Amino acid sequence: MKFIRHFSFRRWRGLAGAGLAGLLLGAAACRREAEAPAPEHFPAPTPYALVQPPLFPAIPAPPADNPLTVEGVELGRHLFYEKALSLDNSTSCGSCHQQARAFTDGRARAQGVGGALHARSAMALQNLVWEPKLTWDGASPSLEQQARTPIENAVEMHQPLRAGVARLQQMAPYPPLFGKAFGTSTITEENALKALAQFERTLISSNSRYDRYRRGDRSLLSADEVRGLQLFSIHPNGTLRGGNCSDCHGGELQTDHNFRNNGLDAAFADLGLSSQTGRPTDNGKFRVPSLRNVALTAPYMHDGRLATLQDVLDHYNEHVAFNSPTIDPLLLNTTNDPLQQRHDLELTAQEKTQIIAFLRTLTDSTFILDPRFSAPR
């Protein structure tokens, strides 16, 4: 049935082209036959220019087949907050990725349709345009590819995207939104994923107090926060004291885009990176997340086991599982012990407090209030 309709439509198009001359000759009777869907004419979408934040690495170009457009991003925003993409109309991307929490959900482990519990914590969505690999285990090399996973995953939105797209086709706002973004009001899975990826690429956080400090306003951080920043950066050597956070959380994006075992466990309930690569040497390695807005993204770690920033500092300072088989060498060899003999980091309580004070300067209130990223009304 479907095939026949498709075939006849193609034939109609061919005939319409061939018969154009005949129509022009004034065969008025033919007009009635041309009542099949009129060809769509949407104006070309408007390019959307991301603003390069000062000091940040250059914004990578989007995929050649999915340039950012104003209309595509706007459609993506609608889809991001669209609950019809979930099995029971209960859940959207925005349910677990809430703007006020830097697009996390405040839960240890994400909760999907029907209260299903995900094995991992919802990651913050920010500065993704710079991320070469997405999710905790690097499963997806592109936002377009990644977007399908939470929509279809049984413990997340739990509905085939094919079914979601069929729903959207019947919802009044969507055919024209897709038409404006992609030139056709026939909704496809591919275009839905492209629009979601476009919206996600616009989620740039670059205006925290720390950013403004970095750009030159030295009055913006207190003495404790500045000391926290120093401790965050410094690799201790017995003379210089430091927390050595930035060996992994370095640069303006505060991630080296790597996957590392940070010593949470000696045995792994979740294999992390090796579930993608199959290599035992990748067991227990997870993505190094950016620490931007980290004060908003509790609880912490891939399974949300650490409730507060204090817990995180305590972990790195005194609870690292040094016998973890794939533990990162940087954790084995980072201590403030003047003799450089001990394993533990050996920060003082005050130093931990100062590092946490610095981490709080990474909160970007303009990002979490930006109406461009909020649910459409």
Partner 1 sequence: MNTSRFAAVAAALVLATALVTACKKDSDPSTPQTGVFALELEPGVGALPLNLSTDTYTTAAGDRFTVSAFKYFLSNIKLTKADGSAYAVPDSYFLVDQAKPDSQHLDLKDVPVGDYTGLTFTVGVDSARTKAGNFTGALAADPGMFWDWSQEFKNVVLEGTSPQSPSRGLVFHIAGFKGANGANNTIRTVSPAFPANTKLLIRPDHSPEIHLHVDVLGLFGGPNPVRFATVYNTMGGPQSVKVADNIAAGMFSVEHIHAN
Site residues for partner 1 per CB under 8 A: 57-58, 230, 233-235, 237, 242, 246-248, 250-253, 256, 258, 279, 281-282, 322, 326-334, 340-341, 343
State which residue, 170 or 258, has the beta carbon closest to partner 1.
258
- Residue 335 beta carbon to partner 1: minimum distance, rounded to whole angstroms: 8
State which residue, 256 or 346, has the beta carbon closest to partner 1.
256
- Residue 16 beta carbon to partner 1: minimum distance, rounded to whole angstroms: 47
State which residue, 156 or 328, has the beta carbon closest to partner 1.
328
- Residue 140 beta carbon to partner 1: minimum distance, rounded to whole angstroms: 19
Distance CA 221, CA 307 (A): 26
State which residue, 308 or 323, has the beta carbon closest to partner 1.
323
Residue 255 structure tokens: 């991630």
Closest CA to 222 of 364, 362, 358: 358
CB 228 within 8 A of CB 355: yes
State which residue, 15 or 234, has the beta carbon closest to partner 1.
234
- Residue 341 beta carbon to partner 1: minimum distance, rounded to whole angstroms: 7
- Residue 126 beta carbon to partner 1: minimum distance, rounded to whole angstroms: 16
CB 28 within 8 A of CB 1: no
Using CA atoms, how far residue 41 sits from 45, 48, 183, 191, in Å, is 12, 21, 7, 17
- Residue 212 beta carbon to partner 1: minimum distance, rounded to whole angstroms: 17
CB 334 within 8 A of CB 244: yes
State which residue, 87 or 327, has the beta carbon closest to partner 1.
327
Residue 320 structure tokens: 């690292």
DSSP 195-215: HHHHHHHT-----SHHHHHHT
Residue 191 structure tokens: 């275009």
